[in-house]
Every structure is written in structure tokens, then in C-alpha cells.
Chains A and B, each alone.
Chain A
């Protein structure tokens, strides 16, 4: 059996996939992006309401596997009410967390997200965990100039 610390399907991941937080579209979203993984078929939408450079609401929905769903659920929980800069910092830490070339002891990340460390043992599944993060980053970066300007007006 795999080492419990690096095991992918930990109880928290199972629970968040079964009953995800912040699941469902966001009516008043200022930012939105769609993420799709053509290799595995994971399909996700990220919705954010950003005012004064702070993520006020952070939602997602879509058709995806447990790892992707739990990753989105925990990401939206961890970064609600945080600034866009904090999101960017944690995103970089998360990408290091799932990268087997980076030493785990060098990764500083909230404990709630550290449970995804095990996925570095499953190279074919890493993209399941990173899809929500990359999609959220796209939502923030690509649409901030258009949508947030209107929103902050």
C-alpha cells in the first residue's frame, strides 16, 4: 500500500469531492473562466467576484473527477476574502507542491492545501489538481482589465 502521507485519496479529498464548498455559478461574478482538459475530459467553470483587489466570492462548477473537484473546493475555501496577490502567491506554492522536482520541505502552503502533496506520486493526475488553479488564474488575469473595471465603476 502507498505511504499514508503521500496517499492521494485522503478522507478530506473524498469529503470535499462528495460535498464541495462554493459549488455552483455566481450570479454577480466579475470574473469567469472555463477550464477544460481534453486528455481526461475534466471540465470546470470558475467564478469570482473581485472588488478592491480582493476576492469577495469564489465559486466553481463543472463535470470533473474527485481530485479536481476537491482541489477547487479547497482552493475557493482557502482564498475567499484574500487579495489577488495572495492568490498568486498560493498558486505558485501549489504548483511547487505538486511538482516532484521541488522538495516538499521547501514548500510553504496552508495545511488545508498540503494534503495534495500525494499527487506528485501520480504524474498522470497532477493536471486534475492544477486545473481549477490555472483556470482561476486565467479568470483573474484575462478578464480583470475588462470585467473588473466595469465592476469597480
Chain B
């Protein structure tokens, strides 16, 4: 553990994030809400600023210099993301407004083309609402049926039940790679293998996974992968859907409008090729330029190099928090990312959230958009500390002291 920072300069990383210098209620910020959104490094902020201050233009349709520059920066981000997740083709990288938007795209477009009445969509009990509701909407529209794989009390999926639920009516498996409320890293390689053995495609919700470990879509062999830019140190309002071209080509467009067409007459409209078929309207240009820069930042850093550091912070936080009487950690899977959900017998999560904030510690409280997970444990809310590359053992100490202080107030 002590050698965890050999390849990783934590002081340098912390200095890259200006928001860490902000004081909250008279204390230096301890930011532990990375599961909701990560802070942004200065280089990303600069890239967004540069677009608005020096190369403002719409993309794709202009011949003037600024439009060429903006288009080149914007499409450069797509190439950057392609290499980041090792997608075979550039056309398989669809820009969306976030993970939610990407999942809705698949639900609507794949659903319209491939899902009939009586067919089944297979998800899990630990999905974020954004990987539940789009499928419920599809079920209402198409008459298909949503099937749910349960998890055990540690927060690990029951693969045996998954196998039993996979059948000839299953049209898609949509599963979260890393649970946002439990931290569980799901065995997606095995899930994909089992699903593919029955010719069922798999969508991975990688919102929490993408900033934690390197993702190789070819090695995973997933059919779709969705993630958000803002949880990867990029701007809000950016997201990515990777999809295998064989599926994307068969799917109807998502929204109608500019950029997604090749030609329009009142008799017939011909849709554009991938990826633009799924990208109607002026996109979040500055946002994606910022995301491209964020991905470059992460590539320069090497996510694999940050892993030991984050595992150390999680192990330390888990050990320190567990020492406090009355604390129960929710989500104790063998394989976890640096997400620590917990409850206390005397202090409600919302009081905990407000009280630790008074000590400058930002955590998230509530159901984390995973009400079925709360129901599983018979609770209404948890407090969640989620750690990123810039968090330290000192942050853990401040967090644990703030939690202790909150509990003492209620003693």
C-alpha cells in the first residue's frame, strides 16, 4: 500500500484542479461526491474557454476559418474518445448529452427495430433509474417485458439467476458496469459471454466505470457502451454512446433535424451516415472539445497508474469508517470501486450530509437514483462518499472526523 504513489504524483494532480482550493464554510473543501460529478482540471476549463473566446463557430457546415477550426477540434475529440475506449471505428462513437440520453437512444432506436410484443429486456436490481425507466417506457410502447436480475446482500449479482432469466425471448441485456450506490464492479465479461452464447446483445452503463479503469470495448466485446463526460473530468451535458456499427446501421434515427440528414425534400429524406444519423441539431461543441481535453488528461495520467492510489484510499476509508459504532456500510462486494455508501443507526443520511458539509466535506445523501437498491436493504437513503484521483488519506481523516462529530451531536 505504501508504494501506491510511485508512478502517481498526487500533489501535481491536486494542483490541476482549481476547485479544490475553494473553502466551504470556512474549511478547505474535501470533495467526496465524485460519483455525482467530478471536478474539472484547469486544462479542460481552458479548452472550453478557448473555444468561446477564440474559435466560436458552428461545426460541419461552415467553410470559414473559425468553423474549420471548431469542426477540427470537435471531431478531434471524437477520435480521442475512439482511441480511449479502443473502438474499432470512428463512426461508432455517437455524441449524446449524457449516459441517460445514450441509454434512451438505444431503448428507442434499437427497441423500435428489434423489440416486439412479448420480448424481454433483461436488467439488474442495482440499475440507476436511467437504466430502468427508458426500458419501462419501451415496455409500455412495445408490449415487451422487463426482467430483473437480483443481487445478494453484499451487492453482488446472482449470475445463476441471470443465466436462468436469459431465454429465446431476451432481446437485450442492459447492465450497469459499476453500481453508483454500492460501488460493485459487475462481472460484465462473464455476462457478455453468457448473453452472446444466446445471440443477445449487451449494453453496458459505464457512467461510474469510465473514470475508474481503462475500458477496451473490443476486448469486452460489448454491443453498446454508454458514459457521461462530466464524470470523467469533462463538462456537463456531454456523453458518449459506443455501438457496434452492425446494430447502429440497422437502427432508425433518434431525433429528426439538421446534421442527421443527407438530403431533404418533401417527398423523401435520406438520412446521414453514422455517427451523424443519431446527432440531430447543433451539438454541445464547447462541451465535447472540453471532453476531448479531459480524455487526453486521463490518458496522459494513465488510469491504470491511479488505481493503486484509489484502492488504498478506499481501503483506508472503509477501515476508518467501520471503526465508528453504529455505522453500517451498504455495498460490500468483493470487487468494488472507491464508492462508500453507509448509514448510521441514529443519524439520518440528510442530517449527516448537512452536518459534514459544515466541516467542508461534500458527500451525497439520498437514494442516489437507485430506489430498488434502497428497497432491497429496507432503507430510504444512504450517505455516499465517492473518491477520485485527487482524494487522499487526509481527506478520509477529515471526512471520518466530520462523521464522528455529526454522530456526537445526536448522542
Chain A positions within 8 Å of B, measured between CB atoms, are 1-2, 8-9, 14, 17-18, 39-43, 63-67, 122, 125, 128
Q: How many A-B residue pairs have CB under 8 A?
A: 45
Q: Contact between A9 and B381 (Cβ–Cβ < 8 Å)? A: no
Q: Contact between A2 and B351 (Cβ–Cβ < 8 Å)? A: no
Chain B positions within 8 Å of A, measured between CB atoms, are 25-26, 347-351, 354-355, 358, 365-367, 374, 380-381, 409-410
Q: Contact between B351 and A9 (Cβ–Cβ < 8 Å)? A: yes
Q: Contact between A65 and B350 (Cβ–Cβ < 8 Å)? A: yes
Q: Contact between B380 and A41 (Cβ–Cβ < 8 Å)? A: yes
How far in angstroms is the closest Cβ of chain B from A101? 21
* Residues in chain A near residue B358, CB distance under 8 A: 1-2
* Residues in chain B near residue A1, CB distance under 8 A: 25-26, 358
Q: Report the nearest B residue to A39, measured CB to CB.
A: B366
* Residues in chain B near residue A43, CB distance under 8 A: 380
Q: Report the nearest A residue to B348, measured CB to CB.
A: A65
How far in angstroms is the closest Cβ of chain A from B362? 12
Offer 21 A-B interface pairs, CB within 8 angstroms, sorted by A: A1-B25, A1-B26, A2-B25, A2-B358, A8-B354, A9-B351, A9-B354, A17-B410, A39-B366, A40-B365, A41-B366, A41-B367, A41-B374, A42-B380, A64-B348, A66-B348, A66-B351, A66-B410, A67-B350, A125-B354, A128-B350
Q: Contact between A67 and B351 (Cβ–Cβ < 8 Å)? A: yes
Q: Contact between B26 and A65 (Cβ–Cβ < 8 Å)? A: no
Tell me, in angstroms, the Cα distance from A2 to B355 when the chains sit together. 11
* Residues in chain B near residue A14, CB distance under 8 A: 409-410
Q: Contact between B351 and A65 (Cβ–Cβ < 8 Å)? A: yes
How far in angstroms is the closest Cβ of chain A from B297? 31
* Residues in chain B near residue A65, CB distance under 8 A: 348-351
Tell me, in angstroms, the Cα distance from A9 to B358 when the chains sit together. 11
Tell me, in angstroms, the Cα distance from A1 to B26 when the chains sit together. 7
How far in angstroms is the closest Cβ of chain B from A82? 29
Tell me, in angstroms, the Cα distance from A67 to B367 when the chains sit together. 18
* Residues in chain B near residue A64, CB distance under 8 A: 348
* Residues in chain B near residue A66, CB distance under 8 A: 347-348, 351, 410
Q: Contact between A18 and B381 (Cβ–Cβ < 8 Å)? A: no
* Residues in chain A near residue B347, CB distance under 8 A: 66
Q: Report the nearest A residue to B25, measured CB to CB.
A: A2
Q: Contact between B409 and A41 (Cβ–Cβ < 8 Å)? A: no
Tell me, in angstroms, the Cα distance from A65 to B365 when the chains sit together. 11
How far in angstroms is the closest Cβ of chain A from B309? 32
Q: Contact between A41 and B410 (Cβ–Cβ < 8 Å)? A: no
* Residues in chain B near residue A18, CB distance under 8 A: 410
* Residues in chain B near residue A67, CB distance under 8 A: 350-351
* Residues in chain A near residue B380, CB distance under 8 A: 41-43, 63
Central interface residue in A8, A14, A66, A125, by most chain B CB within 10 Å:
A66
Central interface residue in B348, B374, B381, by most chain A CB within 10 Å:
B348
Q: Contact between A125 and B350 (Cβ–Cβ < 8 Å)? A: yes
Tell me, in angstroms, the Cα distance from A2 to B167 when the chains sit together. 59
Q: Report the nearest A residue to B382, measured CB to CB.
A: A41
Q: Report the nearest A residue to B350, measured CB to CB.
A: A65
Q: A17-B410, A40-B381, A42-B380 are in contact. List 19 more A-B contacts (CB 8 A).
A: A1-B26, A2-B25, A9-B351, A9-B409, A18-B410, A39-B366, A40-B366, A41-B349, A41-B366, A41-B381, A42-B350, A43-B380, A65-B351, A66-B348, A66-B410, A67-B350, A67-B351, A122-B354, A128-B350
